[in-house]
Chain A
């Protein structure tokens, strides 16, 4: 019995969530092999072989594997999966796009987005955007599992020396074609993985006032979030939306400014390590989840916050 992890990479380096997925996969099964599918990705194979948790690297190359189209990856994974009991990947857009296609070809009911490994067939996963946790047991012979990266620590990356084995490529799927990828270049950290997130709500009153949030975010190297109300009001674009219908974030520090705390927003941020709420309505539901609540007018509090942060000698980045 062995597990097969599908590595995410950009043909040059391993993507960081793969390291979290390796930790989770090695909790399922010690005999962990990794499948690397790409184009001119020899360097990635070498890096993977140095990860102590990995016992073997299966490496396959073809020009049409360069851009990770699920239509090309899935049949290959199915072929390789013959010798494995578990197929695992991270539950980010890479794994979410790919794994169900693999699972359906294997006639397996996939278990998505696990946050804990209970045993080799039983897992904990959030449902209703984390408002409930379900313990689920897979009864399929072969199990397809995706892993919530933020629930597992990244694995060690040096000290191993796993063998690298070449695997033959399969035919190209002709009906889908990659065109381009535009990576958002921002000086700020990405909302989904930032250590600190500061979000504004309807209380910001307009888009212009988000500059108060930006100033504090610059100081804390924080990502900027928003409530659905702020997005719907047009203050900020919807890639910033935190909540059940937006992004679910789990930062070390979440600062909610002018956000009342609707259920749909709380679902997206209440697992944060430390929550700060700044709101002039002392009865706002956001205070019920806040570790530190400040009942104040945000237009006074945000400039003061910036001033106080400026006084500090050091700020964690």
Chain B
């Protein structure tokens, strides 16, 4: 079985983002970048499946600028076998990413495609579902448990009401929740080894995919600031304020 895992390079989740003064976006120069956290869960799950002998190859793929190969290299360092970077500039919307992935799926013919349920930059939560639609494959979104059966997966999904279990026939798309597993760290020797693993670089335009944005970003701004609060001296004062001033209890 072959697993394709899509990863994204995003601003590290511990960085306090800053909005550009001209309102065109957020500052990314000299900002620490990392792999999108739930994409780490996607890679981890694929590696675990391979370690259990049920997968033969893991391909990590990303779509983005040249530097995004760092994110693919990280995936290679935790156990992916080879990588693909599909180069595209600017804002690449989930629909465009899904179309690129569709081309790669046509070429590589994986049995499963994994990715994080959502990227923590644009918070769109669309790519996996869109790719499933384009391929007419089943989709198992927000997965917190994956069990491999004969030619199918039994997937437990995180939903608002609790948990849902579905069975999807292979080939299928799975989008991963943070609860799926505990991603491992790459060891130094594995980081070194990852540098020697093959990484293919393609251009989105060569694949015939138009990645120009359909949604116009008019303005990015800071959310309204909270006004400074007060310090209370003791618990009695706190409860009094909550009851009589804020009127929330």
Interface set of A (CB-CB < 8 Å, partner B): 69-71, 74, 92-94, 96-105, 107-113, 122, 126-140, 173-184, 190, 192, 196, 220, 238-239, 244-246, 252-253, 262-264, 270-271, 273-276, 282, 287-296, 301, 304-305, 307-309, 312, 315-316
Q: Are B236 and A308 interface neighbours, CB within 8 A?
A: yes
In the complex, what distance in Å separates the CA atom of A132 from the CA atom of B221? 6
Which of A122, A175, A304 is the most central at the interface, judged by chain B CB atoms within 10 Å of its CB?
A175
Q: Are B95 and A108 interface neighbours, CB within 8 A?
A: yes
Which of A173, A309, A315 is the most central at the interface, judged by chain B CB atoms within 10 Å of its CB?
A309
- Contact residues in B for A275 (Cβ distance below 8 Å): 226, 229
| A305-B238, A308-B235, A316-B249 known; A100+B126 contact, CB < 8 A | yes
| A126-B123, A136-B217 known; A289+B133 contact, CB < 8 A | no
9 interchain residue pairs of minimum CB distance: A100-B129, A104-B130, A109-B214, A104-B133, A100-B126, A184-B162, A176-B138, A291-B229, A304-B235
Q: Is B188 an interface residue (CB 8 A)?
A: no
Interface set of B (CB-CB < 8 Å, partner A): 11, 13-17, 19, 26, 37-38, 93-95, 98, 120-134, 137-142, 154, 157-169, 172, 178-179, 213-223, 226, 228-232, 234-236, 238-239, 241-243, 246, 248-249
A-B contact count (CB 8 A): 255
Q: Are B179 and A183 interface neighbours, CB within 8 A?
A: no
In the complex, what distance in Å separates the CA atom of A287 from the CA atom of B226? 11
Q: Are B13 and A127 interface neighbours, CB within 8 A?
A: no
- Contact residues in B for A276 (Cβ distance below 8 Å): 238, 242
In the complex, what distance in Å separates the CA atom of A263 from the CA atom of B123? 16
- Contact residues in A for B94 (Cβ distance below 8 Å): 100, 109-110
Q: Are B161 and A127 interface neighbours, CB within 8 A?
A: no
Q: Are B139 and A71 interface neighbours, CB within 8 A?
A: yes
Which residue of the partner chain, among A104, A137, A239, A294, contacts B95 with CB atoms under 8 Å?
A: A104
Which residue of the partner chain, among A102, A136, A292, contacts B215 with CB atoms under 8 Å?
A: A136
- Contact residues in B for A102 (Cβ distance below 8 Å): 133
Which of A130, A174, A184 is the most central at the interface, judged by chain B CB atoms within 10 Å of its CB?
A184
In the complex, what distance in Å separates the CA atom of A192 from the CA atom of B119? 20
Q: Are A294 and B130 interface neighbours, CB within 8 A?
A: no
| A263-B16, A293-B231 known; A179+B167 contact, CB < 8 A | yes
Which residue of the partner chain, among B160, B169, B235, contacts A190 with CB atoms under 8 Å?
A: B160
- Contact residues in B for A294 (Cβ distance below 8 Å): 231-232, 234-235, 238
- Contact residues in A for B120 (Cβ distance below 8 Å): 128-129, 244-245
Which residue of the partner chain, among B123, B124, B128, B236, contacts A110 with CB atoms under 8 Å?
A: B124
In the complex, what distance in Å separates the CA atom of A14 from the CA atom of B217? 34
CB pairs A–B below 8 angstroms (20 shown): A71-B132, A97-B129, A100-B133, A102-B133, A110-B94, A110-B124, A111-B215, A127-B121, A133-B223, A140-B214, A179-B165, A181-B163, A183-B162, A264-B13, A273-B248, A275-B229, A289-B229, A292-B232, A307-B235, A312-B239
Q: Is the interface of A mostly helix, strand, loop or mixed?
A: mixed
Looking at the assembled complex, report how far the CB atom of B141 sits from the nearest CB atom of chain A, in whole angstroms: 5
In the complex, what distance in Å separates the CA atom of A290 from the CA atom of B221? 22
- Contact residues in B for A133 (Cβ distance below 8 Å): 220-223
- Contact residues in A for B220 (Cβ distance below 8 Å): 127, 132-135
Query: Quick one: closest B residue to A192, CB to CB?
Result: B160
Q: Are B215 and A139 interface neighbours, CB within 8 A?
A: yes
Looking at the assembled complex, report how far the CB atom of A80 sits from the nearest CB atom of chain B, in whole angstroms: 16
Q: Are B161 and A184 interface neighbours, CB within 8 A?
A: yes
Looking at the assembled complex, report how far the CB atom of B238 sits from the nearest CB atom of chain A, in whole angstroms: 5
Query: Quick one: closest B residue to A251, CB to CB?
Result: B248
Q: Are A291 and B246 interface neighbours, CB within 8 A?
A: yes
- Contact residues in A for B138 (Cβ distance below 8 Å): 71, 173, 175-176
In the complex, what distance in Å separates the CA atom of A212 from the CA atom of B161? 26
Q: Are B133 and A253 interface neighbours, CB within 8 A?
A: no
| A96-B141, A127-B220 known; A101+B133 contact, CB < 8 A | yes
- Contact residues in B for A94 (Cβ distance below 8 Å): 159-160
Q: Are B248 and A252 interface neighbours, CB within 8 A?
A: yes
Q: Are A305 and B178 interface neighbours, CB within 8 A?
A: no
Q: Are A245 and B239 interface neighbours, CB within 8 A?
A: no
Q: Are B238 and A132 interface neighbours, CB within 8 A?
A: no
- Contact residues in A for B213 (Cβ distance below 8 Å): 109
In the complex, what distance in Å separates the CA atom of A199 from the CA atom of B100? 41
Query: Quick one: closest B residue to A290, CB to CB?
Result: B229
Q: Are B13 and A245 interface neighbours, CB within 8 A?
A: yes
In the complex, what distance in Å separates the CA atom of A248 from the CA atom of B144? 18
In the complex, what distance in Å separates the CA atom of A135 from the CA atom of B213? 14
Q: Are B218 and A136 interface neighbours, CB within 8 A?
A: yes
Query: Quick one: closest A residue to B229, CB to CB?
Result: A291
| A107-B95, A180-B165 known; A128+B218 contact, CB < 8 A | no
